[in-house]
Amino acid sequence: MITLEDWALIRRLAAEGVPKAQIAARLQISRTTVIKAVGSGSPPRYERAARPTSFTPFEARVRQLLVETPDMPATVLAERVGWTGSIRWFRDNVHRLRPEQRRIDPADRLTWEPGDAAQCDLWFPPEKIPLEDGTRKLLPVLVITAAHSRLMLARMIPTRKTEDLLLGSWELIQQLGRVPRRLIWDNEPGIGRGKRHAEGVDAFMGTLATRLVLLPPKDPESKGVVERRNGWFETSFMPGRSFTSAADFDAQFRDWLGRVNARVVRTTKASPLQRVDVDRAAMLPLPPIPLHLGWRNRVRLGRDYYVRLDTNDYSVDPQVIGRLVDVTADLERVRVRADGRIVADHARVWARGMTITDPAHVETAARLRKQFQQPRAAAAGDDLARDLADYDRAFGIIDGELS
């Protein structure tokens, strides 16, 4: 076999018009070798003939195990087949075989028509947010990205429960001003899994006249627009920032999104703000009726005059103890009504296991307790004494003898 330098010299001389026989004589090689070098499309490469190695006796068994479990670690494979040699050599051979056993999952390029869809997801910023009780907690951020325009909307929410997911979704859709024809989620328990939707989700989708799409497992590409942005938030928004509360996080994030929504997106060659009008025009209008969302419960108020929402207890006017009250809450407020009248109104607390008390309720309870402990005064003119002769006449006794 000729060297790479000889192959390059042969092709240069042949290009200059030097006869092949003269090239062969000059390099002391056969004319056939010159002809092959001129006609070849790639430089010569030495390939060692395949020979058995120490891995060869184990290869068939390794292939079988990889067919059954494509992701089995090389160390486990080595133990299963009884390998006692170099683990690095074994790992190199497993690395060579593993792609042959993995099933191929092609990803199609998706196109998103105006108004067609919005992708929804939860992003967990890698920094704990201070809460009302002094603790810090990782809180979810609901992110909705319009698929066609790539417009991003987001809001931090206290929990992943259905009530808060729907409240957050409605708030972001109102900011968008129109309703996408499809809302795409993966298997978020608070929304639904497979064919089962969480309670209240179908009513929410029906009121919006939109369609919920729950993606099957192992299909991240169908929600790749919002997934990629979640990763981008962590590298572009989070570094160097600190937050004093969830409200502070929302204010900073909203300000940042306002700027980045004006930047040109590489794949669309336009900014989300430039494309959002076309996107909105093809969406559905907001529903004409108000949506009744959030936490709702009806309970009978106990003597301790507190009601529980999620994991927190909120005080209620003690004057309605023993009566049925309606407890409602959104992302900001907790309200309690009795016969349509508000008997408690608190800011919703995002910490857990807290007791929230209105001082006016404590004062009312003390006054009612003092009234209860005082003995009832007898009504004026109410003579409770009775003549014993009345009982004798009732039983038919006259002068001490039965009549």
Give the separation between CA 58 and CA 56, rounded to whole angstroms.
5
* 271 in the same domain as 234: yes
Residue 379 lies in a domain: no
* 138 in the same domain as 263: yes
Residue 381 lies in a domain: no
Q: What pLDDT, in 10s, does the model give residues 334-365?
A: 999 999 999 999 999 999 999 999 999 999 99
Percent of the chain predicted with pLDDT > 90: 63
Is residue 380 very low, low, confident or very high in pLDDT (cuts 50, 70, 90)?
low
Q: Are strands 324-329 and 333-338 parallel, antiparallel or unpaired?
A: antiparallel
pLDDT at residue 289 tops 60? yes
* 122 in the same domain as 96: no
Residue 163 lies in a domain: yes
- Helical axes 162-176 vs 201-208, angle rounded to 10°: 10
DSSP letters, 25-65, are: HHHT--HHHHHHHHH-SS-----PPP---TTHHHHHHHHHH
Q: What pLDDT, in 10s, does the model give residues 293-345?
A: 999 999 999 999 999 999 999 999 999 999 999 999 999 999 999 999 999 99
Residue 109 lies in a domain: no
- CATH number of residue 160's parent domain: 3.30.420.10
Question: Would you give the distance in Å from CA 183 to the centre of its chain?
Answer: 14
* 65 in the same domain as 126: no
* 260 in the same domain as 129: yes
Residue ending a domain, among 256, 281, 306, is 281
DSSP letters, 288-316, are: SS----SEEEEEE--TT-EEEETTEEEE-
Q: Which residue has the tokens 């006249």?
A: 209
The residue type at 241: R
Q: Which residues of 308-336 are buried (b: 16+ CB within 10 A; e: fewer)?
A: ebbebbbbbbbebbeeebbbbbbbeebbb
The length of the chain, given as a count of residues: 403
On whether the CB atoms of residues 81 and 63 are closer than 8 A, the answer is no
Residue ending a domain, among 231, 254, 281, is 281
Q: Which residue has the tokens 């092609």?
A: 106
Question: Would you give the distance in Å from CA 310 to the centre of its chain?
Answer: 19
pLDDT at residue 181 tops 90? yes
Radius of gyration in angstroms for the set of CA atoms belonging to the chain, rounded to a whole number: 39
Residue ending a domain, among 281, 311, 337, is 281
Q: Are strands 117-123 and 182-185 parallel, antiparallel or unpaired?
A: parallel
Q: What pLDDT, in 10s, does the model give residues 388-397?
A: 666 666 666 6
Instruction: Give the count of domains, the chain.
Output: 4
* 270 in the same domain as 352: no
Residue 96 tokens, joined? 């060579």
Residue 403 lies in a domain: no
* 367 in the same domain as 219: no
pLDDT value, residue 332:
94
Residue 200 tokens, joined? 């209240």
Q: What pLDDT, in 10s, does the model give residues 53-94?
A: 889 999 999 999 998 888 899 999 999 999 999 999 999 999
* 203 in the same domain as 143: yes
* 128 in the same domain as 171: yes
Give the separation between CA 114 and CA 280, rounded to whole angstroms.
7
* 141 in the same domain as 264: yes
* 231 in the same domain as 267: yes
* 254 in the same domain as 149: yes
Phi, psi angle pair for 216, to nearest 5°: -70, 165
Residue 159 lies in a domain: yes
Residue 170 tokens, joined? 């409605």
DSSP state, residue 351: S
Residue 388 lies in a domain: no
Residue 385 lies in a domain: no
Phi, psi angle pair for 349, to nearest 5°: -100, 130
Q: Beta-strand (E) ranges in 250-387?
A: 295-300, 306-309, 312-315, 324-329, 333-338, 341-347, 355-356
Domain that holds residue 85: 56-101
